[in-house]
Amino acid sequence: MRLFRAGFLAAAAATVYAAVTGREKVQWIAKPLMMPLLAADVATDETAIAPTDRTLLLGSLGAATLGDILLIDPDDDRRLIAGASAFAVMQTGYSALWLRQGARPRAAVAVPRVAAWLGAAGLMRVQAPTVAAPLTAYGATLGTAAVLASDPGLAPGAKNIAGVNVPNRDPRSRLGAGALLFTVSDGLIVLRRISVRGQRARRLTEGVILATYAAAQFLLADPRAHVKAVVPVAE
C-alpha cells in the first residue's frame, strides 16, 4: 500500500478511537490529517489523471479538510451547518469530476436516492427544524454525486445491482460503493442528531459515522479511480 494512504488509515483509526472514547484532543490531532494525507497521495501519485481532474480532486479534499475540522464537535448546530456547507463544496467537486469523466444521471440510479432524500428532508423538518434547510440543501449535492458515482458508464466492466456498481478489481467500480458509504455516514449524522440519546450511544454512533466516512473517502480519493473509462466502440 502507498505510504500516504497507509498514513490516512492510521489517522482514521485514531480518529474513530478518539470519537468512541471521548478523547477530543486526539481527534484534534488526527482528524485534520486525514484528507491532507489523501491529498498528498493524489498529488504524488503517477497515475495518468488529467490535470484538471487532479485539481478538482485536490480541491474537493481541501473542502473536506475544512468540514472535518468543523465537525470535530458534531453537537454544535452552527458548526454542523458550516461543516455541511464545506462538504457541499466537496460533493460538487466530485460531481464535476465524474461529469468530466462521462458520468450521467440515470433514472434507475436516481429514483431511490431522490426518495431517500425527500424522506430525510421530511424527517428533519419535523424533528430538527433549525438545521433542516441547510442539511437538505447539502443532501441534494450528496445525492447528485452519489447518482453520478454509480453510473455504469464509469466502470463498463462492473455489474450494476440496485443502482450500485459492484466493486471489482477496477478502482473505478468502487466509486459507487464509496458514495453509498458516504450516504450511510451522513444518514447516521441525521439519525444521531434527532434520535440518539445518552453519551455512550452518541459516541458509538459517532465512531460508526467516522468509520464509514473514512472508508468512503478511501475509495473516492483513489487516483486510479479517476482515469477516464474507455468504452470500446463496436465495429
Largest CA distance in the chain: 63
Average pLDDT over residues 81-109: 92
* Burial (CB count within 10 angstroms: exposed 0-12, middle 13-18, buried 19+), residue 145: buried
- Lowest-confidence pick of 4-13, 145-154, 223-232: 223-232
What the block records as the C-alpha cell of 86 is 464545506
pLDDT at 230 over 80: no
Contact 90, 71 (CB under 8 A): no
Determine, yes or no, domain membership for 232.
no
pLDDT at 233 over 50: no
Determine, yes or no, domain membership for 23.
yes
pLDDT score of 110: 87
- Lowest-confidence pick of 80-94, 103-117, 172-186: 103-117
How many residues make up the chain in this entry?
235
Q: How many domains does the chain have?
A: 1
Residue 161 three-state SS: strand
pLDDT in tens, 165-186: 888 888 889 999 999 999 999 9
Determine, yes or no, domain membership for 27.
yes
Residue type, position 72, single letter: I
Average pLDDT over residues 98-108: 89
Determine, yes or no, domain membership for 235.
no
Determine, yes or no, domain membership for 15.
yes
pLDDT at 10 over 60: yes
Domain around 161:
3-226
Determine, yes or no, domain membership for 233.
no
pLDDT score of 131: 86
- 69 or 162, higher pLDDT: 69
Continuous segment of H or E residues that includes residue 173: none
Determine, yes or no, domain membership for 31.
yes
C-alpha to C-alpha distance for 157 and 134, rounded to whole angstroms: 37
Determine, yes or no, domain membership for 231.
no
Predicted confidence band at 207 (pLDDT cuts at 50, 70, 90)?
Answer: very high
pLDDT score of 52: 93
pLDDT score of 229: 56
Q: CA gyration radius for the chain?
A: 17
